[in-house]
């Protein structure tokens, strides 16, 4: 799904409805189409660490932000976060847990593991869209990530 040029967002989401709404909102409010979508934690790790079908991916084309669900098939989001934040290169990528989990233990564990932000997915369409819009505007337009050469 990512187009030519630098990747903006890696979305790790297995819910097709949440994914569709997220993609529509990003397209409408940020104009980016430089998005890679993976649907489980194992695929996310393969993408981030350039393994399996992503082994030939350009190492300098890291996402500006990772939107990560917690409840994922194969490898859960907290384990993905744990591995990303342990890696000397990948740990500089901001990770936002965007999840339906309201469990306090998930919030605490996410921050202990180094998440940059924890956002509970609003149930109401309008609120979900507003949250995605704000998230995209901040992480893509306001935040200044380190250059890939510095990582």
CATH number at residue 129: 3.40.50.2300
What are 98's strand-pairing partners?
119
Domain count, the chain: 1
Evaluate whether residue 36 is within a structural domain: yes
The pLDDT of residue 117 is above 50: yes
Cα separation, 148 vs 139, in Å, equals 16
Tell me the mean pLDDT in the region 13-20: 90
Evaluate whether residue 41 is within a structural domain: yes
Evaluate whether residue 147 is within a structural domain: no
Evaluate whether residue 151 is within a structural domain: no
Confidence of residue 14 (pLDDT cuts 50, 70, 90): very high
Evaluate whether residue 4 is within a structural domain: no
Evaluate whether residue 46 is within a structural domain: yes
Evaluate whether residue 148 is within a structural domain: no
Angle at 128 between CA 125 and CA 133, to 5 degrees: 125
Average the pLDDT over each of 25-29, 37-41, 58-62, 83-87 and give the range with the smallest value. Answer: 25-29
**How far are the Cα atoms of 29, 46, 49 from residue 55, in angstroms, in the given order?**
32, 8, 8
Res 31: pLDDT: 65
Give residue-wise pLDDT tens across range 31-43. Answer: 666 889 999 999 9
Res 3: pLDDT: 39
Evaluate whether residue 1 is within a structural domain: no
- Domain span at 93: 9-142
């Amino acid at each position: 799904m990512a187009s030519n040029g630098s990747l903006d967002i890696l979305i790790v989401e297995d819910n097709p409805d949440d994914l569709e709404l997220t993609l529509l909102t990003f397209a409408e409010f940020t104009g980016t189409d430089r998005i890679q979508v993976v649907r489980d934690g194992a695929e996310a790790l393969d993408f981030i660490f350039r393994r399996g079908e992503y082994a030939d991916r350009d190492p300098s084309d890291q996402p500006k932000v990772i939107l990560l669900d917690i409840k994922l098939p194969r490898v859960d989001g907290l384990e993905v976060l744990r591995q990303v934040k342990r890696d000397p290169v990948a740990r500089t990528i901001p990770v936002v847990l965007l999840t339906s989990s309201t469990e306090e233990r998930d919030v605490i564990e996410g921050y202990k593991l180094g998440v940059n932000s924890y956002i509970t997915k609003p149930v109401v369409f309008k609120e979900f869209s507003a949250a995605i819009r704000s998230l995209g505007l901040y992480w893509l337009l306001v935040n200044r990530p380190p250059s890939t050469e510095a990582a």
